[in-house]
């Protein structure tokens, strides 16, 4: 059960209290931003597929147009960059899970005392 102070016991003005309670109602609106990175793993996988396809196409399509060694070096560089991208997405996903958990904990605890 939520306890409310009597008006004569309030240390803050009615306007301050109203502003505070309205700000708490915004808490749920943050959810879409907190949970927005759910698709990073899917995006990373799709980019990996694009890179694999680009490697095959680039090596085949540029045959004779560009120096083969330069093309292979560029493709290798792209793949190296993708490894960093993939690792970063994985790290972000882990941090995302932690962020979501903490956000939920804060909401539950605030919800004990206020309507969030």
The pair of three-digit structure tokens given for residue 9, joined into one six-digit string: 């016991």
Q: How confident is the model at residue 45 (pLDDT cuts 50, 70, 90)?
A: very high
CB 41 within 8 A of CB 87: no
- Asked whether residue 8 is domain-assigned, the answer is no
pLDDT winner (highest mean) among 9-13, 20-24, 67-71, 85-89: 85-89
- Asked whether residue 61 is domain-assigned, the answer is yes
The whole-angstrom separation of Cα 61 and Cα 113 is 65
Whether the per-residue pLDDT at 63 is higher than 80: the answer is: no
- Asked whether residue 5 is domain-assigned, the answer is no
Write out the residue range of the structural domain in which residue 103 sits.
13-113
3-state secondary structure of 66: strand
- Asked whether the CA dihedral 24, 25, 27, 33 is positive or negative, the reply is negative
How many domains in the chain? 1
- Asked whether residue 36 is domain-assigned, the answer is yes
Q: How confident is the model at residue 1 (pLDDT cuts 50, 70, 90)?
A: very low
For 19-47, what is the mean pLDDT? 84
The pair of three-digit structure tokens given for residue 113, joined into one six-digit string: 């005392």
Model confidence pTM above 0.75: no
pLDDT confidence of residue 37:
66
Whether the per-residue pLDDT at 2 is higher than 70: the answer is: no
For 45-74, what is the mean pLDDT? 84
Q: How confident is the model at residue 38 (pLDDT cuts 50, 70, 90)?
A: low
For 49-55, what is the mean pLDDT? 92
Closest to 99 (Cα-Cα) out of 22, 40, 13, 11: 40
């Amino acid at each position: 059960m939520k306890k409310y102070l009597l008006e004569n016991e309030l240390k803050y003005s009615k306007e301050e209290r109203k502003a505070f309670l309205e700000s708490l109602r915004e808490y749920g609106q943050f959810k879409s931003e907190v949970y927005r990175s759910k698709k990073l793993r899917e995006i990373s996988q799709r980019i990996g597929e694009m890179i694999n396809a680009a490697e095959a196409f680039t090596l085949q399509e540029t045959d004779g147009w560009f120096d083969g060694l330069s093309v292979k070096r560029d493709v290798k560089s792209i793949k190296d960059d993708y490894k960093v991208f993939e690792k970063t997405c994985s790290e972000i996903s882990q941090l995302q899970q932690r962020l979501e958990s903490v956000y939920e904990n804060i909401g539950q605890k605030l919800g004990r005392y206020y309507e969030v």
